Every structure is written in structure tokens, then in C-alpha cells.
Chain A
């Protein structure tokens, strides 16, 4: 089961180390982490995607994270209405002959070409992990040279009431 946990933490040296260390110590597998400044000066926002076998473990993780003095707030937002995005850069082998084909392939994903060379293209795509995954799979036959993914960053939507179906994946 995939869980998305967001944290608001003090922007201090060693905080990331503290949190990843805590997760490692308790044998939780981190799928991705994103960290960056938040809207408040001195505070950073982290988004963790963690794979868990049991639901009960989530409570334990959030409690342990909450115990950290540099952690201001922990929320497991998995079951809430959220916006979750990931950015990926994909370098695909391509020759002038199939360039147009790739262009049309990535178009529905609203991905863009940000670099072109004689033998390759660099495609930038933004969206939920599943969408990124889908595009990578579509591009595989052309020969993927490199992939760099940021991991998911997320927070809750402004309006939670419309969250009857939290899993309404949009392609954009």
C-alpha cells in the first residue's frame, strides 16, 4: 500500500537525516522524498511516499515522526482530496525520422521537448506518478537513455467536501 505523508519541518541542518534515519531504523521503505521551502520562512515542506504492508503501521510512522522536535506537523494525506505531482525528465533515443512520431505520442500527456540533439530528445512531463509511469512505458520502445524523476510532492486540495472520490486521477 502506498501512503503519501507530508511534513512541515524546521529548515535546519540535519533534519532530513533525522527523518530518513527514523524511517530506516524502523524498516520503512521510502519510495520518494521531495523537500523544499514552504510558505513560511524557516520551515520546509517534505513529501514522502512510503510503501507499507499494513495500515496500522501508518499511525506508528506519523507518531514517530511527530516525536521529532524539528517536525512541526505530520499529515497522512493519502485518503484526502489532494493534488500530487511529479516531474520527470526522460532522454529518449531518436533520429530525425521518428521525431514527429514521438512528438505526437507525448502530446496528450502535455509533455514538452526541452532539448533536441542529433540522436536524442529530452522530454519533460509533469503529473501524478501513474501518468509519468505511463509515458515512460510508451517511450520504452524508442530506447530510453536516461530518466530523472523528482518524486511526488503533494498537498491537500482547497476544498475537501468534493472529495467523494479521492482517486480521481486527471491526466494534467
Chain B
């Protein structure tokens, strides 16, 4: 055999791989730096290939923790989060995370094992119809039928997850597909005729919007997470300042525009500020950018922005006109649209009176709470966290009262500092997502603000935090209750606290100790300051248990079915 023939044969053999090797190779091509996962029977081949692959893998202690960690990672890094779970229960454990990522547009590529092709449909051990279960909660999904398709599928999955409106893509891999061999070709061009996201806006619509702004006396911008996904914070600021338009954020949009800016009105919605909500109610032009008019933002749609011309900028055309009739639809990437708007350099209408009115409201009706001498107020605690982290921390949360207080009182001035479960409202999201956030930015301070309820849904991930020695500052706002449920029962169910009070919480200090994590507790403001100071200075992870005022409510509030103008709890 000649030398050339030998070389040729070697190259040929080296490009043929089994499915597991292909998967690892594809992840390397996609520059994946971390995988969150949990092994099991159907993914044993994949884990074997992973063993000496050099790719960093985080073994979370539950698949749900894995997928939430991947979400946190994606939120902060802007890169897709990668998850591996085994078939059956492994896959069903990630369902909550998929739904969460879907509704909040978080890019994920999720691999699930599946029983071998030969036994699919026979109710085999650890078999579940994962494709069927997850179809409505994924942006797209695949089941690998032939191993030669795997590289193409993975390449498409990464493209779909991260382009257009981001979202989770699932790849279900039967076990035999991880062992079968085929030629690995990752250089094929992606061809998806059914998927062509519109990035650049229509010029005519841009002109219409410029014209509307020039006519408007009371314009307002509602900016959502789309601004952050599009990495358009700078363009947003430039546009706002050029046109002098006051701005409110949605919950997920926080940080897209600096909270200390004079044109910033605060968060809008159910627990938004008076100035933000009243601006939406009284405006004559509402420009929504990368927000989807969630019911928690709009309140009763019949009373929403009654006098406004609505302009809606969104990369997903299906969001435009879905909830709110829209006069000026602009489909496109927020960054491109804002660039185009700035470039137009239109002359804004005379909105001076309006801006003065809003500034007056902002001053007259700030967020307020009743201070206390002996109790630790949850709002005060968030202010202290803000103070001791210099407002620079990455904040992750669960869902409920603590989440709303964090959103209200932690003043985000930069994008990608805020990780929360908005659309789905997933309790148990905060702790695992903080792991992903910390791995995305090793040198940043990460604070997980949690409720005592949500914390216990995924507290097993403390084990990962200890193992990797991630210096996450875990803060439990302990009110011995499912606070938001309790608040609604107080306000709307005649104080019938049905299963919302948990007087016998475990000793969280002992729990911290069991996991080898430093534990600190505070019951009043003075102790809280000391605890926070100590925790921030400490190099490793700290679990803090703050006993806050138990029956505190989140205000202001737009009750369900009410309009923004009917908000309550604006003044003490």
C-alpha cells in the first residue's frame, strides 16, 4: 500500500464517528464551554464520549436544576445554554425549564436520550414520548432517525435557538443513534426555507413611526427583554435621548435602560410604579420595543392605553396585534430598528408638558413602604443588598413577593444583570439559574434572591455551589409563607390563608452547614447590614436567612381585571 493511499484511508476513517462522538465534536464546533446535565441509561454513550472530551460539564442534582442553570447561563452570557438529560424521567424533569425558556425567549439546546429505535413505542424502560410532551413548549424539536443526520440537526438547532426570537430547541436521540457510525460533516450550509426571521425593519413603517413621534404630545416607550436579547441597550439610550421620550420597562426588560436616568419611569405592570403605569394609561403614543403585552403588564386590556396610537417593534410578527390593536407594526431586530430610528433623526413633537407631568409623578409617588425599627422590612433588605453590592451584582430570583421587591428596589443600570422567571413564573428558578449566571461571569458578584418557598423547590443545587465553590450570595427572604399567595388570599379571599403559611421551616443554617456552605442569619436591619457586609467580603458561597416582616404586601398593585388607573397602594 502506497503512502498516499494510507493517508487517504486514515482521513476517511477519522471523519467517520459514532453519534456520541459527533455530538461532542459538534458542541466543540459551536464553542460550547459548559454543559448542564445528568447521566442515565439512554445517554451512557454520550457521557462516555464526554468523559475525556475536555468540555466542562456541571452535574446538577436534578435535571430541573440543570435546565434552569442553563437558562441563567444563557441570560448572562448571551450564548445558548446546553443541557443533557436521559430518557423518560430525565426528560420529563426538564419540562418546566423548557416551558420557562420558551415563554421568556431564552436560547437553549437540549439533548434528551431516548430508548433505542427498535423499541420506541413499546413502553420500554424509561421511555416517554418526549417529542410529543415538549412540542408546544419548544421553538423546534427533532428526533434523530439516522445518525448521519445528527450533525445537520445539531447545527440547525443552534441556529434556530439563537436567531430570530430565541428559544429552546430539543434534540431527542435514541440510544442506538449514539452508537451507530456515519461520516461527520459539519460544514453543510443550513437550509431552512420555513424559517427566515426578519431582522431589518420595513422602511415605510419606520417612516410612519418617525411621523407619529413628531406628532405626539405624550409619547412613552415600553421596553422589554427584546432589547436585551438584541444587545440594543446603547441604541435604546441613544434613541430615547435623541427623541426625549420617557421610558418604562417590563419586568424582563430591567437593565435595558439605566434606572437612574431622568427619563426612566420605572417598571410598568401589576406592581409597577405610579409614573410608569399612569404614563401608559395617559400617553397618546405608545412605542413597545421587544415586549409582548403580557397581561401582568397591561392589566385589563379594555382599559389599556385608551388614548394611544400603538407602535409595536418586535422580531416575532405573531406578537404584533396579538393582545393590543397596533397601528404601526415594525417587525425586526430591536437593535436594527433602533439604529434605523436614530438614523432618521426625526424631529420629536412638543412633549415638554408631558415630561414635566411625569417627572412630577415620579417625585410625588415614589415606591414607598412603612419603615420599622425592630423588624426587617423586605424592601429595606433589597435596598441594603443594592448598597452592599454597589448596584453592580447579577441578581437572580424565584417568583413571588421577593421577586417583585427585587425588581422594584434593585436599580439596574446595565443589561444582563437580571435573571428572573417572568412569563412562566417558575418557583425554584432562582438558585439553579444563579449557578449558570456565575459560570457565565466568574468574576461578577452573583446574588440569588429567593423566597423560603421557592428555595426549597431546588435547594439540592447547594451541593453544586459547594462542589464548584461558586461564590454565590444566596439570600432567603424568609417570611414563613408563600408570600404572594398569602397576599392574594388576604386581599381577595377574606384572609382565608389556605395552605400558604409555613410556620415550621427547616433550620436553613443547619442546611447550609450540611452542604458545607457558610450560613448567616439576620432578624433586624442592623444584623442584616452586618450579615451582608460579611457575606460580600467572604470569598465563597454564603447562604443568608433573613427573617423579614411576615405579613408585608407588595404595593403598588393593579389587581387582576383592573386598569392601570385603578392601581392601589400608591401612597402609605
The answer to whether A17 touches B135 (Cβ under 8 A) is yes
Known interface pairs A69-B192, A72-B193; A63-B318 also in contact (CB < 8 Å): yes
Contact partner of B322 (CB less than 8 A), chosen from A60, A68, A69, is A60
The answer to whether B194 touches A14 (Cβ under 8 A) is no
Measured CA separation A13–B141 after assembly (Å): 11
CB neighbours (8 Å) of A59 from chain B are 321
Q: How many residues of B sit at the interface, in one of the four size bands? A: 10 to 19
A contact face: mostly helix, strand, loop, or mixed: helix
Q: Return A19 CB to nearest CB of chain B, in Å.
A: 10
The answer to whether A69 touches B321 (Cβ under 8 A) is no
Contact mask for chain B residues 117-133; partner A; CB cutoff 8 A; 1 contact, 0 none:
00000000000000110
Q: Return A126 CB to nearest CB of chain B, in Å.
A: 31
The answer to whether A56 touches B194 (Cβ under 8 A) is no
Q: Return A29 CB to nearest CB of chain B, in Å.
A: 17
Contact partner of A68 (CB less than 8 A), chosen from B143, B194, B321, is B194
Known interface pairs A60-B318, A60-B322, A63-B318; A69-B194 also in contact (CB < 8 Å): yes
Is B440 located at the chain interface by the 8 A CB criterion? no
The answer to whether B160 touches A67 (Cβ under 8 A) is no
Q: How many residues of A sit at the interface, in one of the four size bands? A: 20 to 34
Q: Return A132 CB to nearest CB of chain B, in Å.
A: 33
Q: Return A145 CB to nearest CB of chain B, in Å.
A: 35
Contact mask for chain A residues 50-61; partner B; CB cutoff 8 A; 1 contact, 0 none:
000000100110
Smallest Cβ-Cβ distance to B165: which chain A residue: A67
Contact mask for chain B residues 182-202; partner A; CB cutoff 8 A; 1 contact, 0 none:
000000000011110000000
Is B136 located at the chain interface by the 8 A CB criterion? yes
Smallest Cβ-Cβ distance to A68: which chain B residue: B194
Known interface pairs A14-B135, A17-B132, A69-B160; A60-B194 also in contact (CB < 8 Å): no
Measured CA separation A46–B42 after assembly (Å): 35
Measured CA separation A25–B145 after assembly (Å): 27
CB neighbours (8 Å) of A9 from chain B are 194
Contact partner of B318 (CB less than 8 A), chosen from A10, A66, A70, is A66
Is A71 located at the chain interface by the 8 A CB criterion? yes
Is A87 located at the chain interface by the 8 A CB criterion? no
Is A144 located at the chain interface by the 8 A CB criterion? no
Contact partner of A72 (CB less than 8 A), chosen from B132, B135, B194, B318, is B194
Query: Could you pull out 29 A-B pairs where Cβ atoms are within 8 angstroms?
Result: A9-B194, A14-B131, A14-B132, A14-B135, A17-B135, A18-B135, A21-B135, A21-B136, A25-B136, A56-B321, A59-B321, A60-B318, A60-B321, A63-B318, A64-B318, A66-B317, A66-B318, A67-B316, A67-B318, A68-B194, A69-B139, A69-B140, A69-B160, A69-B192, A69-B194, A69-B195, A70-B194, A72-B193, A72-B194
Q: Rank and list the top 7 A-B pairs by shortest CB-CB distance, nearest first.
A: A63-B318, A72-B194, A69-B195, A69-B140, A25-B136, A71-B194, A69-B194
- Give the A-binding residues of B (Cβ under 8 A): 131-132, 135-136, 139-140, 143, 145, 160, 192-195, 316-318, 321-322
